[in-house]
Every structure is written in structure tokens, then in C-alpha cells.
Chains A and B, each alone.
Chain A
């Protein structure tokens, strides 16, 4: 690769990287997609076979139990919980307490030190 970098011009090298890069990104994510489409059910099936020792078809492993628990229900529950939690703040005890603050004595506006008063 270093050899290529030195001896060809930059733009054509760029196109090489462009094409191979895109191909690799696609191939990586296609591999992932294919694996999770086809490989994972097989893996889960094999796992089931090993642990349960029962002969089951791949289609049976699909989540029959929680079929009705779709994303929409999850979203609804999530929203409810969120609304409930954010609502909580509104219900406050509504009890106000007035705290008495004691101040030390200060004679700055005391009436007894007026001009009229004689001590």
C-alpha cells in the first residue's frame, strides 16, 4: 500500500480508497445483517437443542409467547411511566412554613436616642 501511495497520483489513489472503502463498509454491514437474519436463528436453535434436548423447528423458537408485546405497547408503557414520573413534581405538599429569623439588637433607628428625648 505504501508503494502505491508514493508512485501513483493522489486522485487515482483516492478513487481506489473510495471504491474499496465503500465496498468494505457495505460488506461488513451486509455480513452483520445476513448473520442476524439467518445465522442468529440457527444459533438460537442450536442452543435450544443443546439445553432442552428437544427437536424444535426454527420457526417455533420465534417469540410466540410475547407476540403481542410489540414495540408500540412498549412505547405506550414507556410514555405512561414518563408522564407519571414527570407529573409527580406537580403534587407538592402545599404547606408553607415561615421561618423566624432572630436578629441581634441594633439601635440604628431606635426612638429612645432621638433629639427630643433626654437621657
Chain B
């Protein structure tokens, strides 16, 4: 220990003694030449050599200060750093999707540390480390990998047991298309509006995938203008509203569903055989992709992951996909999406509009699911009736919205367990929003 300290002392002494010996003093003269000369001229009699050394040191410090965050900070940076801290706080204190909010919050802070442009520091500067990691977002590489993990985690058995609940997942996609129209009316062009609309799908990876294809700041429209880069705002909006599902959905449920309806008990789903579970990913893959081939990266990976899980022979692969792989990708995705909110690019009127539209799209999607569930109940008899609350789980946000439905059901009737039933529209919502993304992509991509 003593030796280490000794070596450190000697090294630091060597470094500090360098300017005193007159080495390396030629790095000044750029900014403060005038200042230098006047000062040195004044004190030229005393000790010119020593004074110039101190001036040089002072200049060095000044120059260094020019590179620090304190000199380059803008109010936008400070606001975004505050938002990042709020994200981290929300994640830790209230447990709102901490696996997402903490990486994103940290990313927001990372992306908004003020720096001098041109040193390959920022996420938007070609060649910087963050830029390389961000590549996976811009090219839509991370979302399919996340879907692979989700597929390896998800149990589709409740959906196989009760296939009619798939319609609820489709109904909630009204939010996607309604927001799309809203964005068009607010003056966004078609591809941008398509990317904004997918926030209503309540699915972070899908939103990132679609915005990286449509609103990436690279594509050129028919009239010669370039689309805006909206990946950051869209991803942040999608993830933050997903985290806010427990806040957004319950009031809508209480507003739209009567007390009696909330108490409806559904009969337990039948047990599903392993054979059915194995057939599901293969058949669903074929059917959905033949209908919407553009959703191939997302749905292909989702059902591939599920096949790994259900085949019973590839437990190792499934285990990696649902634990390590998805964790790695979540870390990279969270941090880079967070860092993409660099204040000078993120704080615009468009971002505010996107946040507004995102909130509306969540509300519309939830209402769509709830009302469609009520509508379905008109045709169902006896114990086949469904509890309309599970319609709200049709927005994806797996598994948070299913959990919210479960809690809401318990509040009306403490013996009514809706979680299993709510998982069916929940996972079909994932499939539905991926299909919707595919459709929008095939129309506008």
C-alpha cells in the first residue's frame, strides 16, 4: 500500500513539475493571447519565465473548463437530467417497471451530460460508443431479440383454451389507428403518424421497431422532405405510459364497466395439452405472417421463442432467451433509448405533441378493449360470459395491464381471480399490435 502511494506521489510530482520546468507550455495562445501579453508585459520585470508558466497553467484550466459540462450546460440538459432522476425515482420508489425505467432514466442522464461536439462523445455523433450501441435501435435489431425473450416467457395456454378472447386483443388496436388519425390531423406526415400511432399498441419494442423503420430521420418522402427522427420521443412515450398503466387504466374501468359486470366470474380455463401448446406457435406464425408479412421480425421471433419454450427439447435455448439474452438487450435498449433524448434534439414541440397523443392513444385503446368486451357479452350466454374488465388487458403492456385488471376485479369481488383470464387478451394484444405494426409498415414503409 505504502509503495502504491509512493509511486502515485512521485508520478503526480513529475506531472506537476513539468510546466515549472517549461515543458509543454506551448499549448496556450489560442483564446487569450491578448490577455496573456498584457499581463506578461506588466510583470515582465519580475519573473517573466515564472509568470508565463502560471498564465499557461491558468489558460489550461480555462480551456479545460471550456470542455466541462458546467460551461456547456443548457436549461434543456438540466430539465432532461431532472426527468432522468424522476424516472429512476419512480422505478425505485413506486416499482413502476423498474427494469425499464432505471436503465432509461440512467440513459437520459447519460445522454444529457453537456459536452463539446466533435469529440465522438454524444449518441448522435458517428463513431461514438453510444452511437454504436444506438445502432441496434436505429436499425430495429433489439426489438426482435426482446420479442424472442418474450416468446420464451409467455404461456399462451389461456389463449388456446379460450380463443375468442383474441378478439379483445384486436379491439384494443383501435387505439393505434385512432392515434394515427390524430397525428395526421395535427400535421404529421403519414410515416411519422404511423410511428406515433403504434404507441397505442402499448408495446415498447414494437414502437421502437416501427419508429426506426418509419420516423428515423433518414427516409425521404415523395415530396422530397426527410422524415423527422422521432424514435426517442416515441420510445420514451411508449415506455412511460406502459409504466403508468396502473394509473391510467383503473379510472377508465370504473367509468365504463358497471358494478354488476365487474363482479362476473368466469369459468376456469380448461387445461391445455402440451401438443396444443406446441402446435400454437407454428400455426400462429404461419397464419399471422401470411396475413401480415411485414411483421416478420417481430412475430417470427415471438413464436420462435415460444416454440423453444414449448417444444420440451430446447429448454437451454429457451432459458437463455428468457433470462440472459432479454436482460442484455433490455439493458442496451434502455440505456440507448434513454440517451437518445439529448435535449437539443428531444425538447421540441413534436415531442410534446407525441406525449399528448400517446396518453390519448392509451385511453382509446383501453376503452376500445373494454367496450368490445361488453359488446361480446351481448352474444354470450350463461357461464360463458366474460368479465368486461379483461378487455382492458387487450392493450399489450404485458403483464402489467393483466395485473391491473386482476386487482380491479379483486376490489369488486375479493374472490374473483381474473389474472389467468386477463393474460389471454394481454398476449393476443402483443400479437395484435405486432400485426398492426406490420400493416402500417407495409402501407407506409
Interface set of A (CB-CB < 8 Å, partner B): 1-2, 5-6, 10-11, 13-15, 17-18, 20-22, 24-37, 39-40, 43-44, 47, 62-63, 66-67, 69-72, 74-75
Contact = CB atoms under 8 A, between A and B. Distances in A.
B391 to A, nearest CB: 14
A1 B269 contact: no
A105 to B, nearest CB: 17
Q: Helix, strand, loop or mixed for chain A's interface?
A: helix
Interface residues of B, number: 49
Nearest to A62: B270
B166 A14 contact: no
B21 interface: no
Q: Which of B178, B190, B271, B291 has the most CB of A within 10 A?
A: B271
Nearest to A15: B181
Interface in B279-335: 279-280, 283-284, 287-288, 291-292
B163 interface: yes
Contact of A36 (B163, B222, B270): B163
A28 B435 contact: yes
Contact of B431 (A5, A20, A29): A29
Contact of A25 (B173, B268, B280, B444): B173
B167 interface: yes
A29 B159 CA distance: 11
A113 B35 CA distance: 60
A43 to B, nearest CB: 7
A14 B193 contact: yes
Contacts of B178: 18
Interface in B203-256: 222
Interface of B: 158-160, 163-164, 166-167, 169-170, 173-174, 176-178, 180-181, 184-185, 189-190, 193-194, 222, 268-271, 273, 275-276, 279-280, 283-284, 287-288, 291-292, 417, 420, 428, 431-432, 435-436, 439-440, 443-444
B166 A32 contact: yes
Contacts of B269: 70-71
A90 B265 CA distance: 36
B287 A35 contact: yes
Given A14-B190, A22-B174, A33 B275 contact: no
A14 B174 contact: no
Contact of B177 (A6, A22, A33, A62): A22
